[in-house]
Amino acid sequence: MKQTYAKLSAALIEHLKLSTPPLAISFVDQAPADAPRIGGDMPEPTEDGRTGAVSAGCVFWMKAAHATFSTTAADHANCNVGSLTHGFRTLEEAATGADVAALVESGWVSPEMFPHIPVVAPGHRAVVYGPLAETTIDPDVVFLRISAKQAMVLSDALGGELAFEGKPQCHIIPMAKNGTPAISVGCMLSRVRTGMPNHEMTCALPAARLADIAMRLADTCAVDGTVAAYAAADKARFD
């Protein structure tokens, strides 16, 4: 298994020229022994009781580039939006948070949007994050940090199957888990919390479709290479 995912990770890196490794995200009842709990001290809770291992679950995307670890609902709990999308809180529970109230008051979201946000179905007790090449369990989602050019290649390879989304950025995770590959242009909430570079977007792919996606990317890159050579030669006439 590990060898297969290592090869698929290498294929994604090669075809897309990724600068950060693909991540495996797995929703599980029990984390494997080689995925220790994220750990660390949690800050004092806010007045409405919010705290967690990180300020929002999207921060785990940054940490998982370097290590495999597991998280529980408590680790995600500082962000009600992420807790909702990852199936750790119901809509009714998330809507009572002071963080959600602040987002509504700012005009960033409206309550009418909430029922339409994709979410992971409840039933898991943990989420495991880590480099795809190192996973020892079958992931649900493969997560990528990408540039505009890489988004172009993915769009060419997947066509109308690829969804382009906005805020909240984390809702592409349940979309991919439910079978829809999706790119997010990001959201201000996540960009500030993660420190993600301004030029990056994110992509979530259904792990079950990864082998087919890798083959389609290979075909797309071969065609793009031919077109690039033509364009370069044609451009040279004007240089």
Residue 18 domain-assigned?
Answer: yes
Q: How confident is the model over 135-160, as pLDDT tens digits?
A: 999 999 999 999 999 999 999 999 99
pLDDT score for 76: 98
Q: How far apart are CA 140 and CA 205, in angstroms?
A: 9
Stronger pLDDT, 84 or 2, i.e. the higher one: 84
Cβ contact 69:63 at 8 Å: yes
pLDDT score for 238: 95
pLDDT score for 153: 98
Q: What's the number of domains the chain is made of?
A: 1
* pLDDT for residue 39 is more than 90: no
What average pLDDT does range 40-54 have in this prediction? Answer: 95
Residue 239 domain-assigned?
Answer: no
Q: How confident is the model over 216-227, as pLDDT tens digits?
A: 999 999 999 999
Range of the domain at 11: 2-225
Peptide bond into 45 cis (omega under 30): no
Q: What residue type is assigned to position 16 of the chain?
A: L
- To the nearest whole number, what is the mean pLDDT of the chain? 96
DSSP conformation class of 50: -
Please state the pTM of the whole predicted model: 0.95
Alpha helices in 95-204 (DSSP H): 98-106, 148-158, 172-177, 188-194
Residue 195 domain-assigned?
Answer: yes
Residue 235 domain-assigned?
Answer: no
Residue 234 domain-assigned?
Answer: no
Encode 54-123 in three state secondary structure.
CCCCCHHHHHCCCCCEEECHHHHCCCHHHHHHCCCCCHHHHCCCHHHHHHHHHCCCCHHHHHHCCCCCCC
Geometric angle at alpha carbon 15, from 9 and 16, rounded to 5°: 90
* pLDDT for residue 175 is more than 90: yes
Residue 44 domain-assigned?
Answer: yes
Residue 106 domain-assigned?
Answer: yes
| β-pair partners for 182 | 163, 204
Residue 216 domain-assigned?
Answer: yes
Give the confidence band of 1 by pLDDT, cuts at 50, 70, 90: low
* pLDDT for residue 102 is more than 90: yes
